[in-house]
Amino acid sequence: MAPRVNRETAEHYVWGGLCDGWRLLDRPGLQVIEERIPPGGSEHRHRHGEARQMFYVLEGLLSLEMEGTLHELVTGDALEVPPGAAHRAFNDGAEAVRFLVISSPWTREDREPA
């Protein structure tokens, strides 16, 4: 049986200098990461050659630019990013945003600048 996992027990990493990620599930076929972006935080525009991703907002307002279109996602919203689509998640709001990124297959070594 797989052990219970949460932000206290999951592998934690910092990206973009001030954003957090917790690897809740990290397998070649499926990856589930909880991320937190504070106000003003952003990732670089990029794409994945193989991975399909689903962004699901747990709390706050997530701005997600995909292929030149801005999507503003609020708590409970989800958006799919298909393989090859250039995208960038960021936070222009006043509060931190928390969300899940579900990827299949995983994104390790499947990321290139866009």
> Which amino acid does the sequence have at 3?
P
Give me the domains of the chain, ranges plus CATH numbers: 19-113 (2.60.120.10)
* 38 CB-side CA count, 13 A: 7
- Sign of the torsion angle spanned by Cα atoms 25, 27, 32, 35: positive
Cβ neighbours for 10, distance < 8 A, ≥ 6 positions apart: 22, 23, 24, 34
Q: What is the pLDDT of residues 33-43, one digit of tens each?
A: 999 999 999 99
Instruction: Specify the range with the lowest mean pLDDT, choosing from 1-5, 82-86, 109-113.
Output: 1-5
Q: What is the pLDDT of residues 44-99, one digit of tens each?
A: 999 999 999 999 999 999 999 999 999 999 999 999 999 999 999 999 999 999 99
